[in-house]
Amino acid sequence: MLPRLLAQESIANAWGDVIVGAVLLVHFAALRWGDLPALVFALLGSLAVFLATGVLVASLAFWVRGARSFARDVVDLIILLSSYPGSIYSGSMQLIVYTFVPAGFVVLVPVAFLRDPSLAGAMLLGGAAVVYTGLAVAAFMFGLRRYRRG
């Protein structure tokens, strides 16, 4: 059910943005063919965290009115926070950027991984993708069960 809903809500322009972003990365970051696996991993990990965060916040609609609008605002906030360099985040703001609004895992960690591919970077990005995806699926399924019960 969730994959069908995600496909239904998908916007063709957004997929174009992902493709253009990858092309720009390859061109301006001077990536080589050998960097392709790291690029694909970084893009998929980033996409997983971004999508999972949207699903997680949108799942609040099972309990709270107006959550769909709130989910759009959170997604916009992720995009906004992702556009700033990571060096400006410190202290409590860094905690927020890597947890509640995970812009750090959407842009900062993947970029760091592309600059210096390492096992630690792959585990950090992969772990974040798995955790956020797991939370999103669990929240959606729990909310859907609640909704079906009435």
3-state secondary structure of 48: helix
43 neighbors 18 (Cβ within 8 angstroms): yes
Distances (CA, A) of 7 to 10, 11, 41, 139: 5, 9, 21, 18
Residue 72 located in a structural domain: yes
Residue 27 located in a structural domain: no
Residue 135 located in a structural domain: yes
Question: Domain containing 118: what range?
Answer: 33-149
Residue 8 located in a structural domain: no
Residue 5 located in a structural domain: no
| Of 27 and 41, more confident | 41
Split into its structural domains, the chain has a count of 1
Tens of pLDDT, residues 79-92: 888 888 888 888 88
pLDDT at 55: 93
Residue 103 located in a structural domain: yes
Residue 129 located in a structural domain: yes
> Does 110 score more than 80 pLDDT?
yes
The CA radius of gyration of the chain, in Å to the nearest whole number, is 16
> Does 39 score more than 80 pLDDT?
yes
Residue 70 located in a structural domain: yes
> Does 9 score more than 80 pLDDT?
no
